[in-house]
């Protein structure tokens, strides 16, 4: 999402108001008929039940998931769908406020009959707040909105409170995985997470951040970043025991 699209939205229902406002676009161009149909018919069937989430994320799925993973701000859902396809035995939660992104992922879910994804159109922080302690195996935050201007940086989703919530919901030994093409956001994240008592950076070599982790699937924003000559960084942080 472009940082200068600054109409603020708040589109989550049924949860306490977010601690901070949700910034960014709620919608783009008009949906096609099939997309609108899926938003009306399919989305309610696979929407995350925030109340039930408090009892644990496994109950959101029709099967007993072998592991549970959350992607915050999945955009068009390329990475989330790829993970869900590759690991049908696991459960995937995805949160995204942008209607057109949700519609795109619903198209893939329907076309490929993917059954192990549950979604919320809204604020990822609502889902974090509703999850019980140590209930996730990993959280993915891929190409978060960069808010590059100095006065906009306080809009960035990564802050101390966000990291505290991640540390609460990720089980010991689980991971927080972060990717960005904006060096300043990478530095911003490292500056906040390295002193955090709950996480350690899993870097195997000095150039570790240049290589995507195993199972990585390229997102739409990454494709754009690479086309425009920016270099992605990939950071993995382990939840300390």
Q: What dihedral angle (degrees, nearest 10) is formed by the CA atoms of 160, 72, 234, 133?
A: 60
Shortest distance, CB of residue 25 to ligand SAM, whole angstroms? Answer: 6
Tell which one of 157, 158, 163, 186 touches ligand SAM (CB under 6 A): 157
Q: Residue 143 interacts with ligand SAM (CB under 6 A)?
A: yes
Shortest distance, CB of residue 79 to ligand SAM, whole angstroms? Answer: 7
Residue 140 tokens, joined: 């993915």
Torsion angles phi and psi, residue 147, rounded to 5 = 40, 70
Q: Residue 1 interacts with ligand SAM (CB under 6 A)?
A: yes
Q: Residue 75 interacts with ligand SAM (CB under 6 A)?
A: yes
Rounded to whole angstroms, the Cα distance separating 23 from 20 reads 9
Close Cβ partners of 208 (under 8 Å, ≥ 6 residues apart): none
Catalytic residue among 4, 7, 137, 145: 145
Instruction: Report angle CA 228, 231, 234 to the nearest 5 degrees.
Output: 135
Q: Residue 61 interacts with ligand SAM (CB under 6 A)?
A: no
Tell which one of 104, 118, 121, 125 touches ligand SAM (CB under 6 A): 125
Rounded to whole angstroms, the Cα distance separating 80 from 138 reads 12
Residue 81 tokens, joined: 């769908």
User: Does 145 qualify as catalytic in the annotation?
Assistant: yes
Count of residues binding ligand SAM (CB under 6 A)?
Answer: 24
Contacts 24+ apart (CB under 8 A), 148-153: 148/3, 148/182, 148/184, 149/3, 152/3, 153/188
Q: Residue 144 interacts with ligand SAM (CB under 6 A)?
A: yes
Q: Residue 97 interacts with ligand SAM (CB under 6 A)?
A: yes
**Cβ-based nearer residue to ligand SAM, 221 or 237:** 221
**Cβ-based nearer residue to ligand SAM, 89 or 183:** 183
**Contact positions toward ligand SAM, by CB under 6 A?**
1, 22, 24, 72-75, 95-98, 101, 123-125, 142-145, 157, 219-222
Residues annotated catalytic, as ranges: 145
């Amino acid at each position: 999402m472009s940082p200068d699209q600054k109409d603020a939205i708040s589109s989550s229902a049924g949860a306490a108001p977010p601690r901070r406002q949700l910034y960014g676009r709620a919608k783009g161009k008009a949906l096609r008929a099939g997309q609108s149909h899926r938003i009306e018919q399919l989305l309610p069937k696979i929407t995350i039940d925030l109340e039930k989430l408090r009892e644990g994320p496994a109950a959101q799925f029709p099967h007993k998931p072998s592991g549970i993973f959350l992607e915050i701000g999945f955009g068009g859902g390329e990475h989330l769908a790829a993970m869900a396809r590759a690991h049908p035995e696991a459960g995937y939660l995805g949160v995204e406020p942008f209607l057109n992104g949700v519609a795109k992922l619903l198209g893939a879910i329907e076309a490929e009959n993917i059954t192990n994804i549950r979604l919320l159109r809204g604020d990822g922080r609502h889902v974090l707040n509703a999850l019980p302690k140590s209930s996730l195996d990993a959280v993915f935050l891929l190409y978060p909105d960069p808010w590059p201007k100095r006065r906009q940086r306080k809009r960035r989703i990564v802050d101390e409170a966000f990291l505290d919530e991640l540390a609460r919901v990720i089980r010991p030994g689980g991971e927080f995985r972060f990717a960005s093409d904006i060096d300043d956001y990478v530095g911003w994240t490292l500056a906040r997470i390295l002193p955090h008592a709950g996480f350690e950076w899993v870097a195997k070599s000095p150039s570790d951040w240049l290589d995507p982790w195993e199972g990585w699937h390229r997102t739409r924003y990454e494709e754009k970043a690479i086309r425009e000559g920016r270099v992605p960084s990939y950071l993995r942080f382990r939840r300390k025991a």
